Structures are given as C-alpha cells and as structure tokens.
Amino acid sequence: MTRTWMTLIGAIVVAGATLPGCGDDGARPYDLCIDTSDCTTETDGCSIISTASSTAGICTNNCGSDLDCPRDIRGDVGACLSLSGSAFVCFERCFDDFDCPSNFLCTPTAGGASELICLPP
C-alpha cells in the first residue's frame, strides 16, 4: 500500500512540474526587474523608479486609477501614482518595510493624501 501511494505522489509531482502556468514564469507584480522580459504577463513590464538616492526597476502597470493596478502577493490592489511628474504607474502599498521587496523601503508619498508605497531607498 505504501509503495502505491509513493508512486502516485511521484506521478503528481512530475505532472505538476510540466503543467502550463507552474514554475518560475517571471517576476510577479511589484517584484524587482531589469527589463520587461523579466516580468510576467500580469504586468505591462518593467518601470524604472528613481528616488533622490537610488534607482530600481519594478514589474508594474501604467494606470489611470487604482483599478488598473494588479494585486500584490497579499491580495491588496496597488496604488496608481505619479512621482515627480513621471507617468502614472502602479506601486505596491505597504504598512512597513517588511511588506516591500528586498532593498525597498515603505515610504510615504508627498502631497495631500499620503500613501505608503514601496520605493527604492
């Protein structure tokens, strides 16, 4: 009986490894990237984000409102913002630095209704 279960589990693992959509198909929304080929088709591609002291790429969408933004790994919709007059793109919302990709900080945006978003330091 044990051998049968082990064979079945092995078959499931092998089948799962070859199913379309499984495995590493690219960086998810709001993950770091170098160019658009790094990103999944869930996003418009890799946008370069610059702050006063750093520059990094994130997989994101161009947007007109928050409704255009993909959900992050927690299931939260991104924030559609323009930084310093740049194009409107989606940013990952956060509560603290632990919500952001490595080397990003949870940063308040400037302006009236401040949002906390993940930005390069």
Q: Would the pLDDT of 94 be above 90?
A: yes
Tell me what the mean pLDDT of segment 47-73 comes to: 91
Q: Cβ(90)–Cβ(105) under 8 Å? A: no
In a domain, 9, yes or no: no
In a domain, 15, yes or no: no
Q: Would the pLDDT of 105 be above 60?
A: yes
Query: Tell me, what's the pLDDT at 38?
Result: 92
Task: Give 86's Cβ-side CA count (13 Å radius).
Answer: 13
Query: Tell me, what's the pLDDT at 84?
Result: 78
Q: Would the pLDDT of 20 be above 50?
A: no
Determine the straight-line distance between the first and last CA of the chain, rounded to whole angstroms: 56
Q: Cβ(91)–Cβ(118) under 8 Å? A: yes
Domain count, the chain: 1
Q: Cβ(11)–Cβ(3) under 8 Å? A: no
- In whole angstroms, how large is the CA radius of gyration of the chain? 18
Average per-residue pLDDT in the chain? 78
Q: Would the pLDDT of 120 be above 60?
A: yes
Greatest CA separation for the chain: 66
What percent of the chain stands above pLDDT 70? 76
Residue 58: domain span: 31-119
In a domain, 75, yes or no: yes
